[in-house]
């Protein structure tokens, strides 16, 4: 016993000194410039969180974007868009790059701006003045013009849904030169000017004919363009049959109210689309989106559709690896994790909380690794009974129900050490704002002190910390046995597998981003 106490005290003294203070005012570790940019970009949504407002989040990301080499800035923007499926943060990084390296900006523009929604976001960011300018400038203007002229009719039609700025605003700003009479008529129609109806794209002609009552065939357009029209239940059924995966996921309650699911075969068709693996991959579905849909789903919607969403959830995390050795997963269920995962947005705040996402990750790991230990924590480790064969959403809901209390990131490791357990892989999902254990003293964080104790029992153990909020500090210092990673896309699971198997290099996550070709 004396030797164990002596070793524990030595381990505590050898813990790397903390280099920062987190948002809760406790000891933490600062990321390097490149890692900080990547972490903020993969978790930022510009909605503000539990500890900081939206403007502080934007300012931190801008500072981080200016602190790195333009090449890494471009690589991060591409990675965050293509792998993280983020929209706002890569658009902001692209706007910063437009001033720092115009040639590199033009080179990656098309990889970041992949939809009209991202295009409108990019224009909004540039004109806001946040990146140092309130006009587009010649190179950004030319790139926006090029995107508009190269976009398909379907892309432009989809982009015309939404405001601040609207697509019409964007067209008026950049004055694209149409290359065909059809595109000239289309631009005129979008901005509300007289247009030659015969020259408009067929889909727009179909929409106008339907609105005028000349045609009874429902046009294949975004459903938002039809919501204010007096369609019959048969016609709404037709909309459902033509709908994309994301449109159907978002419109289930609306389609039910409109009577679409009362028509023969529609429920089975929509359920088939929702659980189709190819459609799910193509839609880049995020597990938390499915959770949001299920939480908002009306009890009146057919149970087959609820079952299809559960199936879609299982498919969306099918790439969670089977991990070698013993595994412990530690979801943070403290009070700060009750904030919306995409931040507080006036009129559009997500019902999905950070702790819901933490529960989803833990449940997904448990599904692929039935013997994994799950240690939800706040001030202390909370006890709950989970069955690996339950649905992911069922287990996630059980974990989320534990929410509340202060944040003590060292608690799960302390519990493992007290029980004499030293798993080969420990996975944390948290906002990293630990403060309860800061009272324990020492030069480093309490989490790293407990990790040193665990490593004394299992030198091969590895620690993965998934950070899902843009605060920019860590509780575990970056080193060969520690992976700090940001975000909540399915890409996280691939990176965990690579790290656990020793396939990830010494630079860990940042090294993957730096390998992106631009």
Helices (H) and strands (E) in the chain, counts: 24, 8
Q: Where are the beta strands (DSSP E) in 391-472?
A: 425-430, 462-467
CA 510 – CA 515 distance, rounded (Å): 9
Per-residue pLDDT tens digits for 486-518: 887 767 888 888 888 888 765 778 888 998 999
Check if the beta carbon of residue 140 is closer than 8 Å to that of residue 102: no
Per-residue pLDDT tens digits for 98-109: 999 999 999 999
Res. 6 pLDDT band, cuts 50 70 90: very low
**Does residue 344 have a pLDDT over 80?**
no
User: 111-123 burial, b for 16+ CB within 10 Å, e for fewer?
Assistant: bbbeebbbbbbbb
Res. 463 pLDDT band, cuts 50 70 90: very high
Per-residue pLDDT tens digits for 288-335: 788 889 888 999 999 999 999 999 988 887 767 888 899 999 999 999
Res. 148 pLDDT band, cuts 50 70 90: very high
Check if the beta carbon of residue 235 is closer than 8 Å to that of residue 262: no
Query: Regarding beta strands 27-30 and 482-486, do their DSSP bridges make them parallel or antiparallel, or are they unpaired?
Result: unpaired
* 257 CB-near residues (< 8 Å, 6+ apart): none
**Does residue 345 have a pLDDT over 80?**
no
**Does residue 440 have a pLDDT over 90?**
no
Per-residue pLDDT tens digits for 246-274: 999 999 999 999 999 999 999 999 999 99
**Closest CA relative to residue 358, chosen from 309, 409, 307:** 409
**Closest CA relative to residue 71, chosen from 104, 113, 93:** 104
Note the pLDDT of residue 9.
46
Q: Looking at residues 188-202, what average pLDDT do you find?
A: 94
Q: Looking at residues 78-106, what average pLDDT do you find?
A: 93
CA 155 – CA 200 distance, rounded (Å): 15
Half-sphere exposure at residue 115, Cβ-oriented, CA atoms within 13 angstroms: 16
* 485 CB-near residues (< 8 Å, 6+ apart): 464, 465, 466, 467, 492, 495, 496, 508, 509
The full set of domains in the chain, from first to last, is 2-30+319-514 (3.40.50.410), 35-82+86-221 (no CATH), 228-316 (no CATH)
| pLDDT, mean over the chain | 89
Note the pLDDT of residue 13.
47
CA 172 – CA 190 distance, rounded (Å): 10
Check if the beta carbon of residue 308 is closer than 8 Å to that of residue 268: no
């Amino acid at each position: 016993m004396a030797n164990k106490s002596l070793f524990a005290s030595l381990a505590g003294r050898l813990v790397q000194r903390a280099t920062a203070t987190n948002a809760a005012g406790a000891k933490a570790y600062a990321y390097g410039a490149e890692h900080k940019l990547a972490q903020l970009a993969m978790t930022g949504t510009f909605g503000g969180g539990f500890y900081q407002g939206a403007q502080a989040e934007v300012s931190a990301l801008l500072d981080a974007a200016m602190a790195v080499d333009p090449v890494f800035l471009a690589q991060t923007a591409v990675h965050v868009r293509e792998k993280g499926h983020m929209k706002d943060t890569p658009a902001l990084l692209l706007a910063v790059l437009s001033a720092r390296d115009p040639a590199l900006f033009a080179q990656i523009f098309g990889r970041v701006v992949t939809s009209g929604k991202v295009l409108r976001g990019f224009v909004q960011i540039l004109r806001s003045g946040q990146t140092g300018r309130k006009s587009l400038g010649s190179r950004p203007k030319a790139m926006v013009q090029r995107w508009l002229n190269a976009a398909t009719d379907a892309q432009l039609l989809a982009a015309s849904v939404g405001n601040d700025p609207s697509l019409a605003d964007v067209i008026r700003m950049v004055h694209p030169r149409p290359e065909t009479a059809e595109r000239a008529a289309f631009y005129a129609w979008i901005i509300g000017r007289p247009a030659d109806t015969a020259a408009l794209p067929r889909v727009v002609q179909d929409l106008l004919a339907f609105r005028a009552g000349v045609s009874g065939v429902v046009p294949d357009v975004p459903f938002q363009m039809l919501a204010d029209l007096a369609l019959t239940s048969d016609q709404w059924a037709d909309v459902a049959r033509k709908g994309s995966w994301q449109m159907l996921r978002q419109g289930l309650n609306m389609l039910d109210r409109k009577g679409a699911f009362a028509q023969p075969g529609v429920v089975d068709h929509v359920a088939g689309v929702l659980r189709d693996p190819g459609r799910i991959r193509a839609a880049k579905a995020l597990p938390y989106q499915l959770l949001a849909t299920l939480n908002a789903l009306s009890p009146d919607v057919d149970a087959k559709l609820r079952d299809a969403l559960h199936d879609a959830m299982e498919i969306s995390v099918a790439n969670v690896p089977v991990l070698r050795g013993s595994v412990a997963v530690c979801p943070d269920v403290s009070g700060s994790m009750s904030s919306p995962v995409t931040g507080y947005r006036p009129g559009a705040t997500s019902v999905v909380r950070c702790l819901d996402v933490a529960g989803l990750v833990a449940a997904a790991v448990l599904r692929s690794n039935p013997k994994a230990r799950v240690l939800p924590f706040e001030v202390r480790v909370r006890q709950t009974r989970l069955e690996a064969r339950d649905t992911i959403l069922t287990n996630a809901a059980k974990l989320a129900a534990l929410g509340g209390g202060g944040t003590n990131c060292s608690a799960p490791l302390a519990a493992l050490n007290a029980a004499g357990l030293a798993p080969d892989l420990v996975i944390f999902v948290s906002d990293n704002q630990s403060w309860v254990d800061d009272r324990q003293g020492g030069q480093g964080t309490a989490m790293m002190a407990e990790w040193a104790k665990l490593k004394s029992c299992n030198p091969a153990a590895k620690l993965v910390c998934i950070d899902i909020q843009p605060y920019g500090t860590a509780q575990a210092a970056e080193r060969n046995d520690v992976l700090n990673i940001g975000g909540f896309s399915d890409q996280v699971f691939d990176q965990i597998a690579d790290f656990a198997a020793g396939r990830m290099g010494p630079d860990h996550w940042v090294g993957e981003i730096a390998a992106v070709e631009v």
